[in-house]
Amino acid sequence: MLHQEGLGPGNGEVVWLKADFSELENARDAAELFMRLEQRLDVLVNNAAQLTGPFEKTKDGLSRHMTVKCVLLSCYDLMLLKGATFSSHFGPYILTRTLLPLLVKTSKEPGSDVRIVTLSSLAHRTSRAAQPLIEFRELKDFNEEFRDDVYPDWSRYCMTKLANVLWMRELQKHLDASGAAITCIPINPGTVNTFASRMPFPFIASILFAIFFDIPEVGAYTSCFAAASPAIRANPEKYKGAFLEPVGIITEPSENAKDDKLAKELWETTESILANVGI
């Protein structure tokens, strides 16, 4: 269908890139492969998340909820769509960090408008993510199971979505300090039905979700705004580190998400953990 609409060689092309982030090195390898294939990268969208599923750890000892995430990458006339798997912090962090040299290089090209978009959620304001005295000081803070909570999956999900906003805000500070003309935007895509099939009693869930949740196409609107809107190109300072909600509206994130000390702590501990596992 995309080719029927005019997509093709010389006019943009969709190319699949394997990016299974179930293990940390896979995120790095996917980014390195991309950089061997391409000369520029204008937009990186870290997309999707893992809401349901048992608590598991990777071979590096990290919560899988904090590790894996689907991504959509777009470059000058190439898109790499959905690198299979799910949620949330370490996978996109490694991918983005590895791709930064190419993103920075592209930002120096005439007429460039480089953006990094990460999908968070309204969940970053709720549950465990709304509690006071949150810390990201050591590995155990990323591996909380919350087994005594009513819905542990939701508690873990909310914490990963908070991490997404904190990371984007801190990354923006680092890029600004380096002089890189790159805009980082965390977003809430809205309440989108992408997971009814993974819920208990999926048939019933699919009926209920169809009533109360948006379809995925609608859920993509704010991602598309953040990735491609000319309004952001016209006023990048307004959008740097800003939290967007449907459709493209700047709103205040949670108090925890605005905590500069917590954002710095998340950044430093993430770097320390990755150094300890050789990434």
> Do residues 235 and 104 make contact, with C-beta atoms less than 8 angstroms apart?
no
Q: Which of 87, 88, 107, 120 is an active site residue? A: 120
How crowded is residue 237: how many other Cβ atoms within 10 Å of its Cβ? 9
Say what angle helices 152-178 and 90-107 make with each other, to 10 degrees.
Answer: 20
Annotated catalytic residue, options 161, 223, 240, 254: 161
Concerning whether 88 is annotated as a catalytic residue, the answer is: no
How far is residue 20's CA from residue 155's CA, in Å, rounded to a whole number? 24
155 assigned to active site = no
188: which 2 tokens? 């809430």
Catalytic residue from among 74, 88, 127, 157: 157
| Phi, psi of 250, deg, nearest 5 | -75, 125
Contacting residues for 2 by C-beta, under 8 A, at least 6 apart: 14
Asked about 63 being catalytic, the answer comes back as no
Residue (of 165, 153, 67, 71) closest to 121 by Cα position: 165
| Residues with catalytic roles | 120, 157, 161
